[in-house]
Structure 1
Amino acid sequence: MEEMSMRYVSKFLLGIYLFFLLWLILFKLSFNLPQFLTYSYSNV
């Protein structure tokens, strides 16, 4: 029983970690996107 709950907790933490990582990447992309677009457009 204890082993099962530990596995569940580790899966839960991994899910939270992956979700946080994805959110961070999306936040960074959305933050850098306008700058990147203006940079690429000004270069053309």
Structure 2
Amino acid sequence: MDQVTKHIHDAVTGKRAEREAEQARRREEAARLKQEIAELKQKAGE
């Protein structure tokens, strides 16, 4: 399956939306963890 066909297939089957939602969840989790680490570093420095 070439890239264009795969892209169309994923869009039609909803897999692209699932993948994008999963990536968004991962970005949110990463941002939350970075914030938590920054807060812990700040507390450790006090």
TM bucket, shorter chain: 0.7 to 0.9
The normalised TM-score by structure 2 is 0.69
**Higher RCO structure, 1 or 2 (CA under 8 Å, sep 6+):** 2
Superposition misfits of 4+ residues, deviation over 6 angstroms: none
Gaps of 5+ in 2: 1-9
Identity of aligned residues (%): 6
The normalised TM-score by structure 1 is 0.72
Equivalences, count: 35
Bigger proportion of residues as helix: 1
Gaps of 5+ in 1: 36-44
Q: CA RMSD in A?
A: 0.8
